Amino acid sequence: MSNMSEQHSILLFGLTGHGKSSIANMLIQGDIHHDVNKFVINNAAVGESFQIECSINDEFIVYDTVGIGEPETGKVPHKKAVKMIRDYFTTCQLPLNYIAFVKKKGRCTEEECKMFKLFKEIFEGSENNFIIIITHSVTKVGNEVVKEIVTKVGLACA
């Protein structure tokens, strides 16, 4: 394995079912078509991740968080997921090159705006490392969604 300083650490944060685990698999494995993936994925809106998962290759250290926004009856209810993420990253104080908010294409819902504000609150002070990843999208649509998020929740663009 290469020197740890050459690796890029990335945290994936977002609503359940928006593609965090798929992105994590692509970064670590190069695709999501293996019989067994490092990060469990499905095509449902019910989360598959029960805890914060981490995997490492020569290029990346990837942290795949539990999905947020699940109801109390979900596998990891929203409040528990938020506490888990907040506690883990506050306690560990890991150096993160990229803190990615993963959002499925489409207009920003009120719930997504609340989740992005929560994302900013949890990782306050690390704004220079924030990125937004739009899944299920093409570049033009993705860029429009990013502009909408910036306008609605007040994230300065560099």
Q: Where residue 135 falls among pLDDT bands split at 50, 70, 90?
A: confident
Question: In this prediction, what percent of the chain has a pLDDT beyond 90?
Answer: 12
pTM: predicted TM-score of the whole model, two decimal places: 0.74
Residue 78: the pLDDT is 78
Over the stretch 43-102, which tens digit does the pLDDT of each residue have?
554 444 557 889 999 999 999 887 777 667 677 777 888 888 888 888 888 889 999 999
Question: What sign does the CA torsion over 90, 91, 96, 102 have?
Answer: negative
Q: Which domains does the chain have, with CATH numbers?
A: 4-153 (3.40.50.300)
